Amino acid sequence: AQKITQTQPGMFVQEKEAVTLDCTYDTSDQSYGLFWYKQPSSGEMIFLIYQGSYDEQNATEGRYSLNFQKARKSANLVISASQLGDSAMYFCAMRERTSGTYKYIFGTGTRLKVLA
């Protein structure tokens, strides 16, 4: 079963508009972490934002915010004031502890295209 689900293979947004990228997760752990990464066409993975399962406040980092709804097991990424440089693949990931080690599971990604 999918542990991280990103239901939007591709999204378009107009420059300067806000966009929400969806992510739902599945875990029975009480302690876990949720991450969003950006992967431009050059391939590197850029860390954007983190949300801990015990964090009561939604995480924010500049133009990025994470809409964390624990009961619904969702961790959507909101990008405000989109810029052309935001065009990239975006991956949601979950860190969980398995057999004494941390493991990171990635979703299938959402390709975001910002339109001028």
Q: Which residues of this protein are in contact with another protein, per CB under 8 A?
A: 33, 35, 37, 42-47, 50, 52, 91, 101-109
Q: Least distance from C-beta 83 to another protein, angstroms?
A: 21
Residues 108 and 85: their CA atoms lie apart, in Å, by 21
Q: Least distance from C-beta 8 to another protein, angstroms?
A: 14
Q: How buried is 96 (Cβ within 10 angstroms: 0-12 exposed, 13-18 middle, 19+ buried)?
A: middle
Considering beta carbons, is residue 28 or 99 the nearer one to another protein? 99
Which letter, b or e, does each residue of 37-57 get, where b requires 16 or more Cβ atoms within 10 Å of its Cβ? bbeeeeeeeeebbebebeeee
Considering beta carbons, is residue 12 or 47 the nearer one to another protein? 47
Considering beta carbons, is residue 12 or 102 the nearer one to another protein? 102
Q: Least distance from C-beta 35 to another protein, angstroms?
A: 6
Q: Least distance from C-beta 50 to another protein, angstroms?
A: 6
The CA-based dihedral angle spanning residues 85, 42, 65, 17, taken in that order and rounded to the nearest 10 degrees: 30
